[in-house]
């Protein structure tokens, strides 16, 4: 056996394209079109090189304390990481260590099967129904034992959110498994189950600063759960890399948490534009489910999604498209500014007209 035979074989997660040219309307990675809070911008100018020569706090106390205060929980119930991807990755390593498969939908965040494969965790992808909805009974661990459950709510890329009662039903039926609820988009109008972490010791709720807090470039994610779950995650983290978050990121994260007014103002602007975009696209003939995220999951009957995606890209407008069979005619369109969206509508109309007149 050669050394090449011993290398790990894995199909990696493919992130949205990051175009380098200027004059691009970038609506493919669900970034917030507005800047972070003013205090975040101000603090970013304060740092001097002296602080950078020292290791940051491995316990991330300042940020965890700010998040604990914000959510009204004890700091022992908060874990922070380098984006929610880091937090979720640590959660997979921490909680899914049995021979039973973990469960998550067939159409959801594409990183879940990558982590499961990388960490050699057995998994089962459960098909969403014909309306891209979860069937809760498919996840009842007291009927079908599993190694854990992972649910994005709202789901990506479908944009659909389920109620807190709906998610609690799944948690209640899985007393012997850890249930991870990925709430990356919850701030845009969905119901959170974060308060249920007080009721269920096996529930972990994961959040991110990348979407609603306009800080995708700084990389902050966090989780709230029982002290037992958080202690396990910290033990795993300390076994990989103690210093995961730098001084600057910690300080900017705290500044963002402390500016609630700006946070709410930005959310209101994004959701207002989202609702307007939903109606505009529907009026143009698109099928667009209700969204509680900062993106829309749109399909134009009779026109291939790949065609619209490719033609938009030619016009320096980037949206997201996947060749996966069930969603190959759907586009995930991030909500941009009102001006950006107006350009998108005009170009899509031209593209559809050209396709029909071929």
Q: What span, in angstroms and rounded, lies between the C-alpha atoms of 187 and 194?
A: 12
Which whole-number Å values give the CA distances from 29 to 118, 239, 316, 333, in the listed order? 23, 31, 15, 9
Q: Are 163 and 113 in contact (CB under 8 A)?
A: no
Whether the per-residue pLDDT at 309 is higher than 80: the answer is yes
Please, how many CA atoms are within 13 Å of residue 313, restricted to the half-sphere of its CB?
Answer: 15
Whether the per-residue pLDDT at 204 is higher than 80: the answer is yes
Q: Of 208, 240, 258, which one is at a domain's C-terminal end?
A: 258
Whether the per-residue pLDDT at 48 is higher than 70: the answer is no
Residue 196 falls within a domain, yes or no?
yes
Question: End-to-end alpha-carbon separation of the chain, Å?
Answer: 55
Q: Taking residues 173-185, what's their average pLDDT? A: 97
- Which tokens in the block code for residue 116? 């499961």
Q: What is the CATH number of the domain that holds 343?
A: 3.90.1150.10
Q: Are residues 132 and 273 in the same domain?
A: no
CA-derived radius of gyration, the chain: 21
Which whole-number Å values give the CA distances from 285 to 282, 302, 337, 345, in the listed order? 5, 10, 22, 12
Residue 289 falls within a domain, yes or no?
yes
Q: Taking residues 326-347, what's their average pLDDT? A: 97
Residue 43 falls within a domain, yes or no?
no
Query: What is the phi-psi region of residue 63: left when phi exceeds 0, alpha when psi lies from -120 to 50, beta otherwise?
Result: alpha
Q: Taking residues 288-314, what's their average pLDDT? A: 97
Q: What are the start-end ranges of the E strands in 219-318?
A: 221-225, 295-299, 317-318
Task: Find the domain containing 135 and state its range.
Answer: 50-258
Q: Are residues 266 and 250 in the same domain?
A: no
Q: Are residues 213 and 290 in the same domain?
A: no
Provide φ and ψ at 210, rounded to 5°.
Answer: -70, -35
DSSP 22: S
Q: Which of 140, 193, 186 is nearest to 164 (CA)?
A: 193
| pLDDT computed for residue 49 by the predictor | 64
Q: Are 160 and 189 in contact (CB under 8 A)?
A: no
Tell me: cis bond preceding 129? Omega within 30 of 0 counts: no
Split at pLDDT 50, 70, 90, the class of 198 is very high
- Residue 280's H or E segment, with its range, is helix 260-284
Exposed, middle or buried: residue 179 (CB in 10 Å: 0-12, 13-18, 19+)? Answer: buried
Task: Between 1 and 311, name the one with better pLDDT.
Answer: 311
Q: What span, in angstroms and rounded, lies between the C-alpha atoms of 33 and 152?
A: 22
Whether the per-residue pLDDT at 287 is higher than 90: the answer is yes
Residue 118 falls within a domain, yes or no?
yes
Residue 45 falls within a domain, yes or no?
no
Q: Of 238, 258, 278, which one is at a domain's C-terminal end?
A: 258
Largest Cα span, the chain: 64
Beta bridge partners of 79: 223
| Number of domains present in the structure of the chain | 2
Residue recorded with tokens 């993106």: 295
Average pLDDT, the chain: 95
Q: What pTM was estimated for this model as a whole?
A: 0.95
Q: Of 236, 258, 280, which one is at a domain's C-terminal end?
A: 258
- Residue 324's H or E segment, with its range, is none
Q: What span, in angstroms and rounded, lies between the C-alpha atoms of 296 and 283?
A: 14
Q: What is the CATH number of the domain that holds 215?
A: 3.40.640.10
Q: Are 206 and 181 in contact (CB under 8 A)?
A: yes
| pLDDT computed for residue 11 by the predictor | 85
Q: Taking residues 135-142, what's their average pLDDT? A: 96
In this structure, of 15-19, 78-82, 139-143, 187-191, the range with the lowest mean pLDDT score is 15-19
Tell me: cis bond preceding 157? Omega within 30 of 0 counts: yes
- Which tokens in the block code for residue 269? 């602007």
- Residue 237's H or E segment, with its range, is helix 227-238
Q: What is the pLDDT of residues 51-109, one digit of tens each?
A: 778 889 999 999 999 999 999 999 999 999 999 999 999 999 999 999 999 999 999 99
Beta carbons within 8 Å of 64's beta carbon, 6+ residues apart: 75, 78, 79, 80, 222
| pLDDT computed for residue 358 by the predictor | 85
Whether the per-residue pLDDT at 297 is higher than 80: the answer is yes
Q: Are residues 103 and 242 in the same domain?
A: yes
Whether the per-residue pLDDT at 44 is higher than 80: the answer is no
Q: Are 256 and 36 in contact (CB under 8 A)?
A: yes
């Amino acid at each position: 056996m050669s050394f090449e035979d011993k290398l790990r074989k894995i199909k990696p997660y493919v992130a949205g394209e990051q175009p380098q040219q200027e004059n691009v309307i970038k609506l493919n990675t669900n970034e917030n079109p507005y800047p972070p809070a003013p205090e975040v911008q101000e603090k970013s100018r304060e740092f001097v090189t002296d602080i950078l020569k020292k290791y940051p706090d491995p316990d991330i106390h300042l940020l965890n304390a700010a998040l604990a205060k914000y959510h009204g929980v004890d700091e022992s119930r908060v874990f922070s990481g380098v984006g929610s991807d880091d937090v979720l990755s640590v959660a997979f390593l921490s909680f899914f260590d049995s021979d039973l498969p973990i469960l998550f939908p067939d159409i959801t965040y594409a990183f879940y099967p990558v982590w499961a494969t990388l960490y050699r965790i057995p998994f089962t992808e459960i098909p969403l129904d014909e309306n891209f909805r979860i069937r809760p009974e498919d996840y009842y661990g007291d009927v079908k034992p599993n190694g854990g459950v992972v649910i994005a709510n709202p789901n990506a890329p479908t944009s659909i959110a389920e109620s807190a009662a709906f998610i609690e039903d799944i948690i209640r039926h899985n007393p012997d498994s850890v249930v991870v609820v990925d709430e990356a988009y919850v701030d845009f109008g969905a119901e959170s189950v974060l308060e249920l972490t007080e009721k269920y010791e096996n529930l972990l709720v994961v959040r991110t600063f990348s979407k609603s807090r306009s800080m995708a470039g700084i990389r902050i994610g966090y989780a709230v759960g029982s002290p037992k779950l958080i202690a396990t995650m910290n033990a795993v983290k300390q076994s990989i890399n103690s210093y995961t978050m730098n001084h600057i990121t910690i300080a900017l994260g705290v500044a963002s948490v402390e500016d609630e007014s700006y946070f709410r103002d930005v959310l209101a602007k994004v959701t207002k534009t989202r609702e307007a975009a939903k109606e505009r696209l529907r009026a143009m003939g698109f099928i667009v489910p209700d969204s509680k995220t900062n993106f829309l999951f749109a399909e134009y009957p009779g026109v291939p999604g790949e065609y619209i995606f490719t033609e938009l890209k030619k016009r320096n407008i980037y949206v997201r498209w996947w060749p996966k069979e069930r969603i190959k005619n759907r586009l995930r369109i991030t909500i941009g500014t009102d001006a950006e969206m107006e350009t998108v509508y005009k170009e899509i109309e031209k593209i559809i007209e050209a396709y029909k007149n071929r």
